[in-house]
């Protein structure tokens, strides 16, 4: 009981500290980051969590997933510390999802999914070029424009209309230094403006190569310091390589939506 009270007290302290930290993020450099996000599809926001905040959040995450052998842990919004971080970071996501002050005042943004990735010497992988095309739902209801239904980790997933994906952004919080040889995120600048791409856009004989339709887009690698947050559009074509360093590359990937779904569809917030 005492441990639980201490944890709650620490999470409350984290909540207050995150609010103060994120308030400091809203300055001219963040406006520039928002413009770059619109151009490229992903950007290092230039904002970092103080070390004690990211260290505490990581410790809570590792306690929450203790015993898991998975390289990617879904359902992280069930972790109280992640809930706290995601709620405070909604302000940042909302800023990136709304283009002007009037829109910011009239819309809401909420976290809808969180995944924790730990790329390390025992669990090292590469991700081929792709877009993030699915959302998680509470239940399946056949709805026009929603296709490719599937079940992942007992959760209903579906590909929604492009308009939904365009109203989403992911914030990727790095817990470790992520340099060029540590499996960083790489993107094709501006590819998010192409909408949803068919599989024909990718050359299958070498999964790390691109088809002619995408070869004209500039590749950009986004490195990050520990504590830094990268913002990424759902539709940007992205990938990552295996790490060649015997180090961790731990990332909390939180997806936010500034849209509602047609009834009776609901996001499975997890």
> For 18-77, what is each residue's pLDDT tens digit?
888 887 777 778 889 999 999 999 999 988 899 999 999 999 999 999 977 677 898 899
Q: Is 138 exposed, middle or buried (0-12, 13-18, 19+ CB in 10 A)?
A: middle
Which percentage of the chain shows pLDDT scores above 90? 60
Closest CA to 163 of 151, 178, 148, 146: 146
Top pLDDT among 191 and 107 is at 191
pLDDT for the residue numbered 99: 65
pTM of the model: 0.89
Section 199-211 average pLDDT: 53
Q: Are 45 and 230 in contact (CB under 8 A)?
A: yes
- Tell me what pLDDT residue 22 has: 80
| Contact yes or no for 14/85 (Cβ under 8 A) | yes
Measured in whole angstroms, how far is the alpha carbon of residue 218 from the centre of its chain? 22
Residue, of 244 and 190, whose pLDDT is higher: 190
CB-CB contact of 129 with 237 (8 Å) = yes
Whether the CB-CB separation of 92 and 45 falls below 8 Å is answered with yes
* CATH topology (fold) of 2-257: Jelly Rolls (2.60.120)
Q: What per-residue confidence (pLDDT) applies to 212? A: 57
């Amino acid at each position: 009981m005492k441990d639980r009270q201490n944890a709650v007290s620490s999470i409350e302290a984290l909540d207050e500290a995150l609010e103060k930290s994120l308030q400091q993020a809203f300055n001219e450099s963040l406006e520039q980051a928002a413009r770059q996000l619109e151009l490229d599809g992903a950007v290092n926001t230039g904002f970092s969590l103080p070390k004690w905040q990211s260290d505490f959040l990581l410790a809570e995450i590792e306690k929450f997933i203790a015993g898991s052998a998975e390289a990617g842990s879904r359902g992280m919004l069930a972790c109280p510390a992640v809930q706290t971080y995601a709620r405070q970071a909604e302000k940042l996501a909302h800023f990136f999802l709304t283009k002007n002050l009037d829109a910011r005042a009239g819309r809401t943004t909420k976290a809808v999914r969180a995944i924790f990735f730990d790329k390390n010497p025992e669990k090292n992988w590469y991700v081929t070029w792709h877009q993030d095309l699915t959302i998680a739902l509470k239940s399946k209801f056949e709805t026009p424009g929603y296709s490719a239904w599937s079940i992942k980790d007992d959760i209903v997933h579906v590909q929604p209309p492009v308009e939904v994906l365009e109203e989403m952004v992911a914030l990727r919080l790095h817990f470790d230094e992520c340099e060029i040889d540590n499996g960083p995120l790489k993107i094709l600048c501006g590819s998010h403006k192409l909408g949803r791409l068919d599989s024909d856009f990718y050359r299958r004989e070498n999964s790390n190569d691109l088809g002619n339709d995408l070869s004209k887009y500039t590749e950009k690698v986004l490195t990050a310091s520990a504590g830094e947050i990268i913002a990424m559009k759902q539709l940007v074509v992205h990938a990552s390589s295996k790490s060649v360093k015997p180090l961790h590359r731990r990332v909390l990937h939180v997806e936010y939506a500034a849209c509602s779904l047609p009834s009776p569809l609901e996001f499975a917030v997890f």
